[in-house]
């Protein structure tokens, strides 16, 4: 008996806005034909083309919104949109039941400076240099955290529901990117968390009993003029307004400038 070759099926698909970043040049900002395999969901199809599902918030098939479990048919016309906060898309079905609004994060191992900047703005950021992909994904899932990474393989993991691909490589641009895409500006509370561990900072009253206990950890040159101190409730680190603060104030200012 002769094998009858199965007829290949195709859909027409187009990716919008920053999703183009993941595509080869010939597929950017244009509709193209993608081969469809039996049983493939629209989520499988999108990820097979290189886009992590965490980056996608809206899929339209011939103008109708569908969820990730939708099974495309041949000749469907599919439009895929990124997670966006600034467009009015009311009335359409977004892909996540819960929005990405809870601003608490876990960061991939290559994003240590970004973790410090996120804490500087007052948001919780878990960062562990020794975690692998599986640890990061399950920690994010269990604690309902937004996973930040430049590794799309990690963001494609099934159990990552709230994740965000970081496009920039410069941490100063990365922090602006996170604030802009998640519209975090109204929740920013600078200098309220420890940059080292992410714990909450508490004011240490000058010459209080608590202050006297840690007084010997502060350089004499600082004690002579500084009257305002904060301490991390988790790791005990002490903070004061020093010359390095200029840099940090600069970062906070640049984040707000990036809002417009
Ligand atoms: Zn700390």
For residue 89, what pLDDT is reported? Answer: 45
Q: Is residue 238 part of a domain?
A: yes
Same domain, 145 and 179: yes
Kindly list the protein residues that place their beta carbon closer than 5 angstroms to ligand 1, a single-atom ion: 194, 196-197, 199, 232, 234-235, 237
Distance 123 CA to ligand 1 centre (A): 13
- The string of pLDDT tens digits covering residues 181-214 is 877 888 899 999 999 999 999 999 999 999 999 9
Distance 111 CA to ligand 1 centre (A): 18
Question: What CATH code is carried by the domain that includes residue 50?
Answer: 3.10.20.30
Same domain, 75 and 18: yes
Same domain, 77 and 119: no
For residue 242, what pLDDT is reported? Answer: 80
Distance 201 CA to ligand 1 centre (A): 8
Distance 99 CA to ligand 1 centre (A): 29
Contacts (Cβ under 8 Å, ≥6 apart) of 146: 100, 102, 103, 104, 105, 106, 140, 162, 163, 164, 182
Q: Residue 51, by phi and psi: left (phi above 0), alpha (psi -120 to 50) or beta?
A: beta
β partners of residue 251:
none
- Whether the per-residue pLDDT at 7 is higher than 50: the answer is yes
Asked whether the beta carbons of 146 and 100 are under 8 A apart, the reply is yes
For residue 211, what pLDDT is reported? Answer: 93
Confidence of residue 6 (pLDDT cuts 50, 70, 90): low
Same domain, 186 and 236: no
Q: Is residue 3 part of a domain?
A: no
Same domain, 149 and 214: no
Same domain, 168 and 208: no
Please tell me the distance from the alpha carbon of residue 31 to that of residue 128, in angstroms, as a whole number. 40
Mean pLDDT value across residues 206-232: 92
Distance 70 CA to ligand 1 centre (A): 45
Contacts (Cβ under 8 Å, ≥6 apart) of 243: none
Handedness of CA 185, 186, 192, 194 (dihedral sign): negative
Distance 212 CA to ligand 1 centre (A): 19
Same domain, 108 and 183: yes
Please tell me the distance from the alpha carbon of residue 151 to that of residue 149, in angstroms, as a whole number. 5
Distance 28 CA to ligand 1 centre (A): 44
Q: Is residue 205 part of a domain?
A: yes
Domain tally, the chain: 3
Distance 50 CA to ligand 1 centre (A): 38
- Whether the per-residue pLDDT at 142 is higher than 50: the answer is yes
Same domain, 181 and 215: no
Same domain, 170 and 145: yes
Confidence of residue 86 (pLDDT cuts 50, 70, 90): very low
Q: Is residue 90 part of a domain?
A: no
For residue 139, what pLDDT is reported? Answer: 95
Same domain, 213 and 141: no
Model pTM score: 0.76
Distance 60 CA to ligand 1 centre (A): 45
Mean pLDDT value across residues 23-47: 94
Q: Which two tokens stand for residue 182?
A: 């998640």
Q: Is residue 96 part of a domain?
A: no
Q: Is residue 91 part of a domain?
A: no
Same domain, 149 and 167: yes
Distance 238 CA to ligand 1 centre (A): 9
Confidence of residue 171 (pLDDT cuts 50, 70, 90): very high
Structural domain range at position 51: 9-82
- The string of pLDDT tens digits covering residues 104-135 is 999 999 999 999 999 999 999 999 999 999 99
Helix (H), strand (E), coil (C) string for the chain: CCCCCCCCEEEEEEECHHHHHHCCHHHCCCCEEEEECCCCCHHHHHHHCCCCHHHEEEEEECCEEECCCCCCCCCCEEEEEECCCCCCCCCCCCCCCCCCCCCEEEECCCCHHHHHHHHHCCCEEEECCCCCHHHHHHHHHHHCCEEEECCHHHHCCCCCCCEEECCCCCHHHHHHHHHHHHCCHHHCCCCCECCCCCCEEEEECCCCHHHHHHHHHCCHHHHCCCCCEEEECCCCCEEECCCCHHHHHHHHHHHHHCCC
Same domain, 170 and 228: no
Distance 16 CA to ligand 1 centre (A): 41
Mean pLDDT estimate for the chain: 88
Distance 244 CA to ligand 1 centre (A): 17
Q: Is residue 89 part of a domain?
A: no
Could you tell me which of 56, 52, 59 has the C-alpha nearest to residue 13?
Answer: 59
Q: Which two tokens stand for residue 18?
A: 């920053």
Which of these ranges, 155-159, 211-215, 256-260, has the smallest mean pLDDT? Answer: 256-260
For residue 144, what pLDDT is reported? Answer: 84
């Amino acid at each position: 008996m002769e094998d009858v070759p199965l007829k290949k099926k195709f859909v027409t698909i187009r990716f919008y806005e920053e999703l183009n970043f993941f595509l080869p040049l010939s597929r950017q900002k244009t509709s193209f034909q993608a081969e469809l395999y039996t049983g493939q969901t629209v989520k499988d199809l999108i990820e097979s083309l290189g886009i992590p599902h965490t980056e996608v918030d809206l899929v339209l098939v011939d103008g109708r919104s569908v969820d990730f479990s939708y099974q495309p048919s041949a000749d469907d016309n599919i439009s895929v949109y990124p997670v966006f906060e600034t467009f009015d898309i009311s009335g359409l079905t977004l892909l996540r039941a819960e929005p990405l609004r809870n601003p608490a994060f876990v960061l991939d191992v290559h994003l240590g400076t970004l973790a410090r900047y996120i804490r500087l703005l007052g948001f919780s950021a878990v960062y562990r240099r020794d975690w692998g992909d599986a640890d990061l994904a399950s920690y994010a899932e269990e604690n309902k955290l937004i996973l930040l990474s430049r590794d799309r393989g990690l963001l494609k993991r099934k159990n990552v529901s709230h994740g965000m691909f970081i496009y920039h490589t410069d941490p100063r641009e990365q922090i602006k990117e996170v604030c802009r895409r998640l519209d975090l500006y109204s929740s920013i509370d600078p200098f309220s968390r420890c940059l080292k561990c992410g714990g909450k900072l508490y004011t240490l009253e000058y010459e209080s009993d608590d202050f006297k206990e840690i007084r010997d950890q502060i350089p004499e040159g600082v004690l002579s003029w500084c009257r305002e101190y904060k301490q991390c409730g988790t790791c005990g680190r002490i903070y004061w307004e020093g010359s390095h603060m200029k840099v940090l104030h600069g970062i906070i200012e640049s984040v707000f400038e990036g809002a417009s």
